[in-house]
Structure 1
């Protein structure tokens, strides 16, 4: 009877340990070996206590203790040898070939994208917006908080960050877990529009749950042998919340050469799961490969070209990614962007890479130029009197020029201005209150400095009509006129197929077009503009180019 009770006690302790630590039952999982060793040691301790083995001589004379200690030693040896044989020290070539970057042409791959596809916010700014939105929801703010996940995704062709709510405390979980989590936060990274999306069915499986509805425990009991990497929170095309759960795959020895072999999708509302091979992962999933893993894989490729010893000693031909990364939306996928530099610390890039978070596809672009940090310093120097801080930049194609684009934030983390910095000539910096204004100023700099021939500042989209409404506002000390054009003879030229000729609202800064003060409601005017909603940025007045003046004003009787 005592033996049965002791056995049950051991099983209970082992289960409690497993329930808390959740190791995968897999020889490739280092936590499994630790769990196994812990169980054996626990059994030996209980055996020694029951047999009252106190002295070293008594322990040595026990066959059970000898066998147990031998087993513990064997576990340690297998783990140690497996770690060594899985390391880059003896497998440099295999590690170097885990990813195979394809060299591509920058101007062909990175097309000039429209402003509504450019993520203007980084994660820190998104967190500020999310917390501010949550603070306005008086019916929820006392019970829930916003998770810090903020996964970057493409949703219906637009860049978004999404994150679930979490229980504010253990007590709040106790009082709300029956109903579940009622909403998630969705932030449009281009427009900064922040929504709290309330769900018909609440989220029942999340990181903030306890016991069996905790997402990690839920996955472990369904897939006891799967080794999960970082989970991300995403929504499908219908807005249904899912947990994206990548499954590790080790390609070198027991513990080395990690990639992703499978992806489990878990419906956050119902707990229903679907298991896919990585190559069969649905298109709407954006993050099967964590950014940290992709950067690590590329660093193996760049550092181990000439073997492990060279990567430590001579470092001939060694390349590594720069400190920091950002995300770019291409072909309905999210790509990790980072620069590539030599290990010499010369603060310049030799190129950059884009790595697909769904497929691991890696593209390399040769492009000598400044590192991102140098470009950020250059942009901050243009507004040093305002003490704005630059966010880590995106790489865009502006007039076939690789260009760092970044938001400039004040001390509170709010985006105040935007900057564009030429990668190859990082002294070429343009600042603007809007993205359109920033691009216009940047293109003018390119033209003035002869960096890009044929670059102008005037849009080929124009509208001629009668001023129907006219209002004035002062923004950061500068006067702006906002006008709408219409009339029977109103005409819009240059719009692409699919664009509508609705009544545009035009922003005309007086500092750039002082002649606008001579116009009034009823006057006829031609404006060249970049179509945006709700306000379009004017690039020129009149039919002539801006440097030659505006057309003569015609007053409508």
Structure 2
């Protein structure tokens, strides 16, 4: 009692105790949350409470009953609380320009580059999860574990979904001690089975506890680094690696930047640090999805400052949001480089209009926004409109579209939409033209879906749309050496080979009424769109033998 009484009346001792108590509790909080040990983090976590305790301490009377000596504590506490409240609720408003500049977007008044359809994944995450989750039962002591997050990446030049096995709770982690497996599913072959990659002893994982937690493991050696979400990215030889991006904040804790990655061997615990320009080639994801989504929001919202978001709202647009999450989707270009894609729409959440779309390179962070006159004059439909078209098509089956992604296919901006049932099982693959959502092709396999879509583009090409884009319009004249006829509903599909070309030419009778009369030996002149594929669709056919 004598000590407490003395402490209450000795202001210097009281202030020291308040500071030490707040610092200790703040350190404990940062340790528990595995946050960075920086000045801004300490102030954000403990600044208000330090101010409040000093404020209250200043109100305690001295030995003579006077409160005059406590005015300094009182004022210091009040100022700390006001500063904390300003930084927490007001200062962020003043950083709108800095947030817009952080996105550092290059605006292009053009279409994205045409994609090779081989690099379009045909397996959506829901179907990958359906396949992968069933593999958990093959893991020894499977009750100790649960499946982790699924992410798509390139391994040994093939696009695959991978998901690590994770601990299923604290007590089960004590029994399991290590994580022994992960799941790999082809993203390019919808018929390929899931693979269980087992035989590992991973001690450092995101679901681990205490020193076994991968973030806490890094934090022990790098206390001040700002850590972003980890991605699981096995090497080409199958060995497991966790990629943990790190960075810093500017403008207090309002604007995040990625500075590099930590590569963690989950078995040995070895940590390798790389700057953004030194990351090994096998790593696809340096910029995490959360940062890509944040930068898209900054770019669409703060072009004309904060006040414009309240009044006027000039040029405001926002990335599309989805109920199932995944605001940004991983896409891969011709060389297999990964980018984060999302489309931008108006502030009206029910809008079906596309005002632009973006690609953020997942390694370099380069932000490219495709907008301007090219997009606005095209009247493109956004991802919600594409999903709506697909859902109406499969209304009877109660199948729905998932994870719509925009590509430049055959020179046309096209939504690629996997179609799944209520269990997440892949049923069809649909292609929806962004200019005219009524042009919708679908099939159970990717090759047939693209062939049908190409036929539709040619059918609608006359006067309504240009299906060529960057593909080249060509003409060839020669003799038919083989011909085949296949019924396609109420229509007839005719295929033939010519003596002076290795391509297979296709036309529908509805496009060319004389197609059913073609036969071997006929001389024909064919105009077609050269997409560098073996099977090409004829846009115009003239049978020179019968002059039709």
In the superposition, the TM-score normalised over structure 1's length comes to 0.71
Is the counterpart of residue 395 in structure 1 residue 396 in structure 2?
no
Q: Would you say the 8 A contact 2:225–2:248 is kept in 1?
A: no
Paired with 1:167 and 1:249, the residues of 2 have a C-alpha distance of 30
Once residues 47 and 223 of structure 2 are traced to their aligned partners in structure 1, the CA distance between those partners, rounded to angstroms, is: 15
Q: Distance in 1 between matches of 2:52 and 2:304?
A: 43
Do 1:83 and 1:255's aligned partners in 2 also have CA atoms closer than 8 Å?
no
Query: Which residue of 2 is the match for residue 553 of structure 1?
Result: none
Residues in 1 aligned to 2:243 and 2:279: alpha-carbon distance in whole angstroms: 10
Looking at structure 1, the residues matched to 102 and 301 of structure 2 have their Cα atoms a distance apart, in angstroms, of 13
Does structure 2 conserve the Cα–Cα contact (< 8 Å) formed by 1:83 and 1:254?
no
User: In the TM superposition, what is the alpha-carbon distance from 1:205 to its structure 2 partner?
Assistant: 0.1
Taking the aligned partners of 2:441 and 2:258, their CA distance within structure 1 comes to 41
Query: 2:107 & 2:539 partners in 1: Cα distance?
Result: 40
Whether the 8 Å CA contact 1:396–1:403 is kept in 2: the answer is: yes
Query: Are 1:28 and 2:29 counterparts?
Result: no
TM-score, normalisation: structure 2: 0.73
Match of 2:231 in 1: 232
How do residues 354-373 of structure 1 correspond to structure 2 at under 5 angstroms?
354-366=359-371, 367=375, 368-373=379-384
Could you say which residue in structure 2 is the equivalent of 1:155? 155
| Match of residue 428, structure 1, among 439, 442, 446 | 439
Q: How many angstroms apart in 1 are the aligned matches of 2:181 and 2:539? A: 51
Q: Residue 138 of structure 1: CA displacement? A: 5.8
Name the CA distance, whole Å, in 2 between partners of 1:64 and 1:219: 46
Aligned residues: 455
Q: Where does residue 97 of structure 1 map in the other structure?
A: 101
The CA distance in 2 between the partners of 1:275 and 1:43, in whole Å, is: 41
1:17 CA displacement: 4.3
Q: CA deviation at 1:131?
A: 0.8
Is the CA contact (8 Å cut-off) linking 1:82 and 1:255 kept in structure 2? no
Whole-Å Cα distance in 1 between the matches of residues 339 and 62 of structure 2?
Answer: 62
2:8 — aligned with what? none
Aligned with 1:142: secondary structure? Answer: helix
Distance 1:72 1:23 in 2: 25
Displacement, 1:129?
1.5
**2:530 corresponding residue in structure 1:** none
Query: Aligned equivalents of 1:172 and 1:443: distance in 2?
Result: 53
Alpha-carbon deviations, 1:359-393, whole Å to 9, x = none?
21111223340011111110121121111010021
Show the counterpart of 1:210: 209
Report how far residue 104 of structure 1 moved.
4.3
Q: Give the equivalent residue in structure 1 for 2:347.
A: 343
Superposition deviation, residue 61 in structure 1: 5.5
- The answer as to 2:220 corresponding to 1:221 is yes
Matches within 5 A, 1:43-442: 56-57=60-61, 72-83=77-88, 86-87=91-92, 89-104=93-108, 109-115=112-118, 117-135=119-137, 137=138, 139-147=140-148, 149-177=149-177, 180-192=178-190, 193=192, 194-199=194-199, 201-251=200-250, 253-323=251-321, 324-330=327-333, 331-343=335-347, 346-366=351-371, 367=375, 368-442=379-453
Aligned residues of 1:248 and 1:260 also touching (Cα < 8 A): yes
Question: Cα gap change, 1:314/1:236 in structure 2, threshold over 3 Å: closer, same or farther?
Answer: same
CA 1:398–1:261: 2 relative to 1, 3 Å: same
Q: Report if the CA contact (8 A) 2:153-2:233 is conserved.
A: yes
Q: Does the 8 Å CA contact 1:322/1:340 hold for their aligned counterparts?
A: yes
CA distance in 1, matches of 2:133, 2:36: 35
| Structure 1 residue 546, shift from structure 2 partner | 13
| Aligned-partner Cα distance in 2 for 1:236–1:42 | 52
Deviation at 1:218, TM superposition (A): 1.1
In structure 2, distance between residues paired with 1:205 and 1:24: 19
Conserved 8 A contact 1:86-1:255: no
Q: Is the 8 A contact 2:127 2:425 kept in 1?
A: yes
Unpaired stretches in structure 1, ≥5 consecutive residues: 466-490, 496-536, 550-557
Q: 1:276 to 1:28 in 2, by over 3 A?
A: farther
Change (3 A) 1:35 1:215: farther
Q: 1:206: how far off?
A: 0.9
Distance change in 2, residues 1:132/1:69 (3 Å)? farther
Task: For 2:283 and 2:328, locate their aligned partners in 1 and report how far apart those are by CA, in whole Å.
Answer: 20
